[in-house]
Amino acid sequence: MKDTVAANVGKFNDPDRTATGKPRAKVALSDPQTLWFNTGTLCNIACLNCYIESSPENDSLVYITADEVTNYLDQLEARNWGVSEIGFTGGEPFMNPQMIDMTRRCLERGYQVLILTNAMRPMMRPATRAGLEALHAEYPDHLTMRISLDHWSRTNHDAERGIGTFDKTLEGMRWLRDAGLRMTVAGRSMWGEAETDARAGFAQVFETEGFAIDAADPAQCVLFPEMDMTVEVPEITTACWGILNKSPRDVMCSSSRMVVKRKGAATPSVVACTLLPYDPQFDMGETLEQAEAPVPLNHPHCAKFCVLGGASCSA
């Protein structure tokens, strides 16, 4: 946090005004498309630069339950958001013992379900694989697994996620391929290579492995910009939309919210963004009705990742 303050001294303090006194940009929930659930911050690995600090020890966000998910599905219908997709992220979602049940409840309601996973041991447990096969058989066109494959090379991927993780992830992807489940990939653009070169590298891996993933399609092979909190970024004012030729509707918080359950909390709450589960200013309350309020872009991630980077966690 000290590095963040040093890089962006005086910035991102006031939800209404920038450091120069200009009106801060805010984003309305104009077209809800995805409701995310954080399944818990526990993960089977500890990545070098995990934005949510997931690890085998971090339980800051505890396991959400299937009944709590159902409560929010009921709220979605009551509020008539028109959401088409339910996303699950972590931590590693398949460490949550109710992951298959939660997925089923969403599929039964007719939603598309997107699960972000590293495709390693938690997903590869026999009971989990059996559950995924059953869900795929019942809902073959409604379930997608987005695999965290940080780079197309073993060297760079393992440098971020740990020695041997590249091979273990590919093992999981091969099982998904053979089981017929739909896959996409999430990588990172942190190695100084051109996007065309990165996509060419991923395309070679996908072709070699027989993965039905189009590396040229940003929806199937997502390359996230790195979220370096030590880098200075500009604040986004209301005038920036015209200057950048962008719309508030392009930003992730115009189309999604995420449900989290904090350690020690009696109930889950809704946050504005999948990237900011810990920042209290982005906690919008316990209900979806409360979460319909506009979101001030009062964080470096809002500028670098969403407005300037153009990234989105949804499919």
Q: Report domain extents, the chain.
A: 24-304
Question: What is the pLDDT, as a whole number, of residue 2?
Answer: 37
Q: In this model, does residue 315 exceed pLDDT 60? A: no
Q: In this model, does residue 314 exceed pLDDT 90? A: no
Question: What is the pLDDT, as a whole number, of residue 178?
Answer: 98
The Cα 291–Cα 81 span in angstroms is: 11
Question: What is the pLDDT, as a whole number, of residue 3?
Answer: 45
Long-range (24+ apart) CB contacts under 8 A made by 120-127 are: 120/44, 120/45, 120/92, 120/165, 120/168, 120/169, 120/172, 121/44, 121/168, 122/44, 122/92, 122/94, 122/95, 123/92, 123/94, 123/172, 124/171, 124/172, 124/175, 125/94, 127/100
Mean pLDDT of the residues in the chain: 93
Q: What band does 6 get if pLDDT is binned at 50, 70 and 90?
A: low
The Cα 212–Cα 229 span in angstroms is: 35
Question: What is the pLDDT, as a whole number, of residue 125?
Answer: 98
**How do strand 295-296 and strand 26-27 relate by DSSP bridges?**
antiparallel
The secondary structure of the chain as a DSSP string is -HHHHHHTTT-S--SSB-TTSPBBPEE---S--EEEEE--SB-SS--TT-TT--BSS--SBPPP-HHHHHHHHHHHHHHT----EEEEESS-GGGSTTHHHHHHHHHHTT-EEEEEE--SHHHHSHHHHHHHHHHHHHSTTSEEEEEE---SSHHHHHHHH-TTHHHHHHHHHHHHHHHT-EEEEEEEE-SS--HHHHHHHHHHHHHHHT----TT-TTTEEEEEP--TTS--PPPBTTHHHHHT--GGGSGGGTEEEEE-BTT-SS-EEES-TT-SS-GGGEEESSTTGGGS-EE--SHHIIIIIIIT---S--
Residue with tokens 């303050």: 5
pLDDT (average), residues 177-195: 94
Angle at which helices 126-138 and 99-108 pack, to 10 degrees? 10
pLDDT in tens, 170-182: 999 999 999 999 9
Question: What is the pLDDT, as a whole number, of residue 306?
Answer: 84
pLDDT (average), residues 98-122: 98
pLDDT in tens, 225-255: 776 666 788 899 999 999 999 999 999 999 9
pLDDT (average), residues 30-34: 96
Q: Which residues pair with 221 in a beta bridge?
A: 185
pTM for this entry: 0.93
The Cα 189–Cα 145 span in angstroms is: 20
Q: Which stretch of 3-7, 64-68, 138-142, 218-222 has the lowest confidence by average pLDDT?
A: 3-7
pLDDT in tens, 48-62: 888 889 999 999 999
Q: What band does 156 get if pLDDT is binned at 50, 70 and 90?
A: very high
Q: In this model, does residue 312 exceed pLDDT 60? A: no
Question: What is the pLDDT, as a whole number, of residue 311?
Answer: 54
Question: What is the pLDDT, as a whole number, of residue 227?
Answer: 65
Q: Which fold has domain 24-304?
A: TIM Barrel (3.20.20)
Largest CA distance in the chain: 57
Q: What band does 5 get if pLDDT is binned at 50, 70 and 90?
A: very low
pLDDT in tens, 127-144: 999 999 999 999 999 999
Question: What is the pLDDT, as a whole number, of residue 197?
Answer: 96
Q: In this model, does residue 4 exceed pLDDT 60? A: no
pLDDT in tens, 247-305: 999 999 999 999 999 999 999 999 999 989 999 999 999 999 999 999 999 998 888 87
